[in-house]
Amino acid sequence: MNTIVVDREKCVGCKLCYRACWRDVIRWDEKENVPRGVYMEDCAECNWCEIICPHEAITVKIDYSRPFPSPYIPGKN
Amino acid sequence: MPQGLDTQVYETDILVVGHGIAGLAAAISAKENQPSLRVTTVDKGCVGYAGKANKGGGHVAFIPEGGEEQYVEYHTRNLGDYLNDQDMLRIYANSTLKTLGRWESWGVKFIIPRERALNAHPIIPWKITLVDLDVMVQMGRYARELGIKSVEKTTIIDLLRKGDRVVGAIGFDLITGNTIIFKAKAVIMANGNQNWGIVPMWSSGRGDGIAAAYRAGAKMRNAEFGSFIQIVHKDSKTVSYGAEDCLYNAQGENVSTRANLEENLRTVVGGVDLGGSQSVLMYLEVRDGKGPIYEKVEENKLPGSFIGRNLCCQGTADPPFYRPWAQKFWDRLNAKNRAQCPGFDVPLRESVPAVVGEMSPLYVDHNMYTGVPGLYAAGDICANGSAWSGAVPTPPGRNRGSGLMHAVLTAIIAAKSACEYAAAVSWEDPEPDQIDALRQRMYANLNNRGAIRPTDMKWQIQNIMQPVAYTGYKREDRLQEALGKVLELKGMLPDLVARDPHELASVHECINTVLCAEMFFRASLARKESRGWHLREDYPHRDDKNFLKWIVIKDNNGEMELSLEDVPIERYKYKPE
């Protein structure tokens, strides 16, 4: 599963990453005033949270090992 | 209804479901047409980022003045395969320049002036200009200035009716789970198509609007064309632009040539195929024990080429075409793939045909009216249902750049129709019993005793929709097998369980995707011929005698009812030769 890493030193709490996450993967932790990757199973690795962040405070680490369904013949290959 | 949840009610003259590009364009058009009307949009995402328009493309097709009829003829004969509504296609061809003008007036910047736009096709007058990927931010800003209200982080599950008329919608807040009810005079569905969730980049469309409209009595058309396929690099799941021309099998043989295909399967006729016939080629190789299939990277000339750099951001775009957001989007993804993805930065990349989908069957007429009073549609949700493009998954099918143009054009039309309707009708409240019943259905899977997680169900659906043997190269026995699997999943839907509102939205995505899959396979079984993108191994030829018809699907007391509607070819200008 993908993961999200937040650099709390750089994060200014502008919420742009939260707003840009159209799959509702990122939720805002109001108490800590930082983004949290809560529903990572739905991350589409569009990287919008990263490219919208003015301070490069957030990074999506893509899990390249996640499976792909059988492309050609069901259950075989 | 679960305890502790509240209900919030909004009243608006026009409700637009979805604030992606079609939704915002519809809302803006409606407000400009009738400034006194209250216009509200609602979406799971936030304004400026919702939908698909900012997920990598930004290509905008248009037809230059004087070329419209040539375009209609070419498209009908070569891409639509005579299954297109030629009148609707002509409306499209005659409206693109006007649409560009109105779109520009909303503060949207086009990167290339239209007089210097790129030729997108060697034969027909079909040009491409570009917008950057902040296009939705630009439109969102304008919508806000006009006084359009937007409700974010809210999913719409069903439409509310009074008799046959649609008078609103019901859904819930993704954060709190609270019920959200909209009362409206007219509703425009603009929340996208069905993309099965297989390729991450296209995972915005989950068929929520298609399913809600179907349950409210709307018809569907051309559901069998919902299997748009792109070639992707298997490990990164990223589109391999240009790979179709340099594919090799495990024996080192070039399999990109279409020479081995039967005549009827050579579906590329001077157009941009983007994976349809290649997927069949790849499937045949693998079936015959010659897989897997690889992209020979050194032979792929697209990255770094003029088109690759400037249209696809594969390489740094030249200054006149440079789009800061698009460049950043692609550079970031490509850099991660190169640095972290095993099997990406290698001479032979394993490539697979990935089913994107683009199933968009909501039936609309030329006014974007669904046939259900008060209900209109715009954009991807009805791109095949309007039949403008014919026998090809839409958008983009073999018509790159038409998705954004179609979204804005149909939004303008839908807004005009909805405004006229809203001005002419009085307020009607939804029936309370109906609200109670829909609310009960909406929360049924929340903390129930079910044992199936939505992520597990999605994986099972993807394993039915992805294999080319089921969805790309069809045959009676395989289609029946796939339909059987879908119906099995349908029986398991009550056992889905959600622990919170986000997961409940995922449950409804599963319910809606299973419904769309059933439509796709039933319609595919009914079309016993090969036409356009619909390729049948057992019926390899086009059959104009029996299938110059649209397959229409409608709900009949919980059963899916299919019928055939004649394409009015006798009154159309272009007829099969």
Length of chain B: 577
Q: Which residues contact B477 (CB under 8 A, 6 or more apart)?
A: none
Q: What is the pLDDT of residue B275?
A: 56
Q: At what angle do helices B135-146 and B21-33 cross, to 10 degrees?
A: 30
Asked if B45 reaches chain A (Cβ–Cβ under 8 Å), the answer is: yes
Alpha carbon B180 to its chain centroid, in Å, reads 26
- On whether the CB atoms of residues B195 and B203 are closer than 8 A, the answer is yes
Domain A3-61 carries which CATH code? 3.30.70.20
H or E element, residue B186: strand B179-189
Q: Determine, for residues B45 and A24 on separate chains, whether the beta-carbon distance falls below 8 Å.
A: yes
Tens-digit pLDDT profile for chain B (577 aa)? 677 899 999 999 999 999 999 999 999 999 999 999 999 999 999 999 999 999 988 999 999 999 999 999 988 988 899 999 999 999 999 999 999 999 999 999 999 888 888 887 777 788 999 999 999 999 999 999 999 999 999 999 999 999 999 999 999 999 999 999 999 999 999 999 999 999 987 777 899 999 999 999 999 999 999 999 888 999 999 988 888 889 999 999 988 765 445 554 454 333 345 456 788 889 999 999 999 999 999 999 989 999 899 989 999 999 989 999 999 999 999 999 999 999 898 999 999 999 999 999 999 999 999 999 999 999 999 999 999 999 988 776 667 789 999 999 999 999 999 999 999 999 999 999 999 999 999 999 999 999 999 999 999 999 999 999 999 999 999 999 999 999 999 999 999 999 999 999 999 999 999 999 999 999 999 999 999 889 999 998 999 999 999 999 999 999 999 999 999 999 999 999 8
Asked if A5 reaches chain B (Cβ–Cβ under 8 Å), the answer is: no
CB atoms near residue A76 (< 10 Å)? 11
Structure tokens at B346: 């290698």
Domain B228-355 carries which CATH code? 3.90.700
Q: What is the pLDDT of residue B59?
A: 93
CB atoms near residue B259 (< 10 Å)? 6
Asked if B278 reaches chain A (Cβ–Cβ under 8 Å), the answer is: no
Q: Determine, for residues A19 and B506 on separate chains, whether the beta-carbon distance falls below 8 Å.
A: no
- On whether the CB atoms of residues B215 and B555 are closer than 8 A, the answer is yes
Give dist(CA B412, CA B368) in Å, integer.
10
Q: What is the pLDDT of residue A71?
A: 96
Conformational region of residue B128, where left means phi above 0, alpha means psi within -120 to 50, and beta covers everything else: beta
Q: What is the pLDDT of residue B263?
A: 54
Asked if A54 reaches chain B (Cβ–Cβ under 8 Å), the answer is: no
Chain A nearest C-alpha distance from B210 (Å): 19
| B202 closest CA partner among B360, B38, B408 | B360
Q: Where are the alpha helices (DSSP H) in B428-500?
A: 432-443, 454-465, 468-471, 476-492
Give dist(CA B391, CA B176) in Å, integer.
42
- CA angle B392/B393/B395 to nearest 5° reads 115
If you write DSSP's letter for every residue of A22-77 in order, what string do you get?
TTS-EEEETTTTEEEE--GGG-----HHHHH-TT--EEEE--TTS----SSSTTT-
Give dist(CA B312, CA B330) in Å, integer.
8
Q: Determine, for residues A73 and B174 on separate chains, whether the beta-carbon distance falls below 8 Å.
A: no
Q: Determine, for residues B467 and A44 on separate chains, whether the beta-carbon distance falls below 8 Å.
A: no
The residues spanned by each domain of chain A are 3-61
Chain A, nearest residue to B229 by Cα: A71
Asked if B356 reaches chain A (Cβ–Cβ under 8 Å), the answer is: no
Chain B from 514 to 553: CB within 8 A of any A CB? none
Homologous superfamily, domain B7-225+358-424: FAD/NAD(P)-binding domain (3.50.50.60)
How many Cα atoms are found within 13 Å in the side-chain-facing hemisphere of A15?
9
Chain B nearest C-alpha distance from A71 (Å): 5
Give dist(CA B406, CA B147) in Å, integer.
25
Mutate to test the interface with A, among B21, B174, B203 (most CBs of A within 10 A): B203
Q: What is the pLDDT of residue B135?
A: 97
Q: What is the pLDDT of residue B271?
A: 38
Q: Please name every residue paired with B218 in a beta bridge, in sequence order, or none if there are none.
A: none
Cβ-Cβ contacts under 8 Å, B291 against chain A:
72, 77
Q: Determine, for residues A77 and B46 on separate chains, whether the beta-carbon distance falls below 8 Å.
A: no
Omega within 30 of 0 (cis) for the link into B125: no
Q: What is the pLDDT of residue B286?
A: 95
Chain A nearest C-alpha distance from B285 (Å): 10
Mutate to test the interface with A, among B44, B46, B281 (most CBs of A within 10 A): B46
Chain B nearest C-alpha distance from A9 (Å): 22
- ipTM > 0.95, yes or no: yes
Omega within 30 of 0 (cis) for the link into B396: yes
Q: Determine, for residues A20 and B49 on separate chains, whether the beta-carbon distance falls below 8 Å.
A: yes
Chain B nearest C-alpha distance from A52 (Å): 9
Q: What is the pLDDT of residue B270?
A: 34
SS (H, E, C) B303-365: CCCHHHHHCCCCCCCCHHHCCHHHHHHHHHHHHHHHHHCCCCCCCEEEEEEEEEECECCECCC
**Whose structure tokens read 């110059």?**
B548
Q: What is the pLDDT of residue B397?
A: 62
If you write DSSP's letter for every residue of B121-136 in order, what string do you get?
-SSS--EEEEB-TTHH
Q: What is the pLDDT of residue B96?
A: 96
Q: What is the pLDDT of residue B115?
A: 83
Chain B nearest C-alpha distance from A13 (Å): 17
Q: Determine, for residues A44 and B153 on separate chains, whether the beta-carbon distance falls below 8 Å.
A: no
Q: Amino acid identity of B331?
A: D
The residues spanned by each domain of chain B are 7-225+358-424, 228-355
Structure tokens at A52: 């919208």
A:B CB pairs within 8 Å: 112
Cβ-Cβ contacts under 8 Å, B153 against chain A:
24
List, for residues A42-73, the tens digit of each pLDDT value.
999 999 999 999 999 999 999 999 999 999 99
Chain B nearest C-alpha distance from A42 (Å): 9
Chain B from 285 to 304: CB within 8 A of any A CB? 286-287, 291-292
Q: Determine, for residues A20 and B204 on separate chains, whether the beta-carbon distance falls below 8 Å.
A: no
